[in-house]
Each structure stands twice: as structure tokens, then as C-alpha cells.
Amino acid sequence: MRFLFYTHSLVSDWNHGNAHFLRGVMRVLAERGHAVQALEPEGAWSRTNLVADQGADAEARFFRDFPMLRTQTYGTAFEHEAALAEADVVLVHEWTDPALVARIGKARAQGGRFTLLFHDTHHRAVSQEEDIAGLLLADYDGILAFGETLRQRYLEAGWGRSVFTWHEAADTALFRPLPETAKRGDLIWIGNWGDGERTRELQEFLVEPVRSLGIQATVRGVRYPTDALARLQAAGLHYGGWIANADVPAAFAAHRVTVHVPRRPYVEALPGIPTIRMFEALACGIPLVSAPWSDEENLFRPGEDFLFAADGEAMARTLREILDDPDRAAALSASGLATIKARHTCAHRVDELFAILGEVGTASVTRQLRHEEAAQ
């Protein structure tokens, strides 16, 4: 089949974790013989910031790291209806311009034979409700929400026709253990400081534990204001800036433990949704300690796949235990990796996507699905 993804950006992962997941899903679809194309708007903020921050080579790296993926930018003159007419399945990400969201829905309503899905991977449904409420989604065949609580929010508000939970997952062709990599540090945290959504939590669960333990720790990511950099430096954390997602597995492999610090809107308003870095870290086999969040959907096995720390003191104590106990660290690594392989790869999500298409797909899509099943 022919898949068309409307993305904020596939090329740039600068402060844009959704690119990680979409790259993995598109890779799996292409490996299974489907035609896959991404579209991204000219001047997308993530891609613009990537080039401004890192230069043109960072942009070019995408094409070297992911030669199997195809993406194209579009401007005001782009003929969306022509692109849609060639697609069997269209996925529109929630960062897409609202006018274009409506335009694509109109094309579906006016006889488009493609199956049209809206993909939400953010907390705007609760933090900026008016933005999502204003989207014209009535002509979309389905909504893909990256957590059950977000799916329930759509259902309660009456947004969309059919709503499905479609979690993010690890691109295990990229995220995998690299046991031959020599350790050069104790702890690494990879994430963006952002808009104050977890400033207090980062201080409690990352900065203070590292300061009290006096361990070798590195932070990678973007959008760190001056005061955040000062906090890191004072606590003895090395700040390494932006890191290409393709380099993250090697960075995890060079350290002995990592932490997970979810953003406050997910903990308080959309419980059950971890960051994609949690999937990716466990896929790389690095032991992980998490700040509190509620795993309401039983995605993982807390205490086996990773450890929870109730507060900053517990975080420091647990990190010390892992660093001092190689057998405990190895058991956590093996358990977390096993759970990812069993349940949370992009291949699993593609299987789930096809099950969803079997429910809401147009006649042409369901016919192709039956043909593929018969050929297996």
C-alpha cells in the first residue's frame, strides 16, 4: 500500500521526539514492501532551529542515517489533493496547520478513497484544549492517540469518529545494546529542558542526586536556558548539547545508568504516558530509574524492567545501588530489553496500525489487507 505521513518534520529531531517514532514506523513499513512518503512544511520550527543550532550538516545527516526514508517539503503552492489521490493511507500529525488539517479532511469527504487518520502525540488536548477542539476532524476515519487517557479525552470531548490508543515505541533497528562500547561515564540523561514543564522535577531527580553522589554525569539535549546550564555546572554535570538521535544508542552504551523524568502535564493530566526516551533507553539495555508516573496501562514491569524513585533522596540511593551492583544492573537491563522486544517495537505498532485499518479502512484499503493476508 501507499502511505503518506504529514509530519512536523521527519528530517529534524531538534526538540521533536515524534520524529523518532515516525522514522521507525516508516522504516518498518518500507521493509515490508509498502511505499512510504513523508511531507513536512517549509520553515518548520524544529528543522529551522536544527540548522541554526548545528549547521546544514546536521540536516544532511538525516539522509545519511536514514537512506531508506523519503520526505518532501511543501509550501503554499503544493498540490495536496494530487498527493492525497495517490495515497491509500494518510496519517496527519497534530502539529499540522489547522487549515491544512481541514483541507485534508475535506478531500476525504469529497470522495477521497484513502483512509485518513489523525495522530496526536502531545498534551495539548488538556493543556491547550481550544487548539484541539478547533480542529475539523469529523471527516477523519480515525484518531490515533498515544495513550489511553488521551484516547478517553477525545471520546469525552466528542472529537473524531473512532479513537484508538497507539503508543510510541522503540525503533529497534537503531536502538539496541552495544556491549562492545567502553564505559566512559556513570550516568547520562538525554532530554530537553523545555518550557518549565519539569524544571522542579529535573532539579530533584537529576541535578541534586548527581551533586550528592559526585558521579560522572552527562546531559544531552536542547533549550537549556542560562540558569539551567548554571545548575548543571554547579552540580558537576557535563552538558553536551544537541545529539542526533542516531547517536543516542552509542551514548547510552557508554554510560552505566540513565533516568526518566516525565513532563508534569503527563503525570498530572494524562497519566500512563511515558516519554519515548524510556522505550529507547530500555531497548538499548541501559538500567533506568524513573521519577514517579502512573503506568496505568501496564506497559512495563516496574521493579523488574526499571526502578521507581519516589523522591530525590530515593533517586540518589537507587542510582548508587545500581552503580555498586553489576548483577542488579544486568538484571534490569535484560528485563527491560525483553519487554521492549516483546511488546514495544515499531514493528508491533505497525501490526497495531494494520489492525486499526482493518476496522476503519476504506474499501480499497480493506481489500488490499485481505489480499495481503491471503498471500501470507
* 225-276 pLDDT per residue, tens: 999 999 999 999 999 999 999 999 999 999 999 999 998 888 888 889 999 9
Same domain assignment for residues 101 and 227: no
Contacts of 279 (CB under 8 A, 6+ apart): 168, 169, 170, 175, 340, 344
Asked if residue 180 belongs to a domain, the reply is no
Asked if residue 334 belongs to a domain, the reply is yes
Same domain assignment for residues 32 and 58: yes
Number of domains in the chain: 2
All cell numbers assigned to 97: 496547520
Asked if residue 133 belongs to a domain, the reply is yes
State the CATH number of the domain containing residue 15.
3.40.50.2000
Question: Quick one: average pLDDT of 335-344?
Answer: 98
**Rounded to 5 degrees, what angle do the CA atoms 373, 169, 57 make?**
110
Which pLDDT does position 295 carry in this prediction? 96
Residue 147 in contact with residue 169, Cβ under 8 Å?
A: no
Distance CA 219, CA 163 (A): 37
Higher-confidence residue of 108 and 131: namely 108
Which pLDDT does position 91 carry in this prediction? 98
Same domain assignment for residues 154 and 248: no
Same domain assignment for residues 156 and 33: yes
Which pLDDT does position 251 carry in this prediction? 98
Q: How many alpha carbons lie under 13 Å from residue 159 in its C-beta half-sphere?
A: 25
pTM of the model: 0.96
172 three-class SS: coil
Distance CA 347, CA 175 (A): 13
Asked if residue 364 belongs to a domain, the reply is yes
Which pLDDT does position 164 carry in this prediction? 98
Question: Quick one: average pLDDT of 158-187?
Answer: 96
Asked if residue 174 belongs to a domain, the reply is no
Task: Using pLDDT thresholds of 50, 70 and 90, give the confidence band for residue 361.
Answer: very high
* Cβ neighbour number for residue 57 with a 10 Å cutoff: 9
Question: Quick one: average pLDDT of 124-140?
Answer: 87
Same domain assignment for residues 190 and 268: yes
Lowest mean pLDDT among 34-43, 191-200, 299-308, 347-356: 191-200
Asked if residue 47 belongs to a domain, the reply is yes
Same domain assignment for residues 320 and 295: yes
Same domain assignment for residues 330 and 350: no
Say yes or no to pLDDT of 195 above 80.
no
Same domain assignment for residues 15 and 160: yes
Say yes or no to pLDDT of 354 above 90.
yes
Which pLDDT does position 129 carry in this prediction? 84
Asked if residue 300 belongs to a domain, the reply is yes
Furthest-apart CA atoms within the chain: distance in Å: 64
**Rounded to 5 degrees, what angle do the CA atoms 280, 283, 284 make?**
90
Asked if residue 62 belongs to a domain, the reply is yes
Which pLDDT does position 160 carry in this prediction? 85
Same domain assignment for residues 24 and 155: yes
**Rounded to 5 degrees, what angle do the CA atoms 147, 175, 345 make?**
40
All cell numbers assigned to 6: 504529514
Same domain assignment for residues 142 and 244: no
Same domain assignment for residues 349 and 290: no
* Cβ neighbour number for residue 185 with a 10 Å cutoff: 15
- Domain holding 270, by residue range, is 185-343
Beta bridge partner(s), residue 143? 118, 163
Same domain assignment for residues 20 and 163: yes
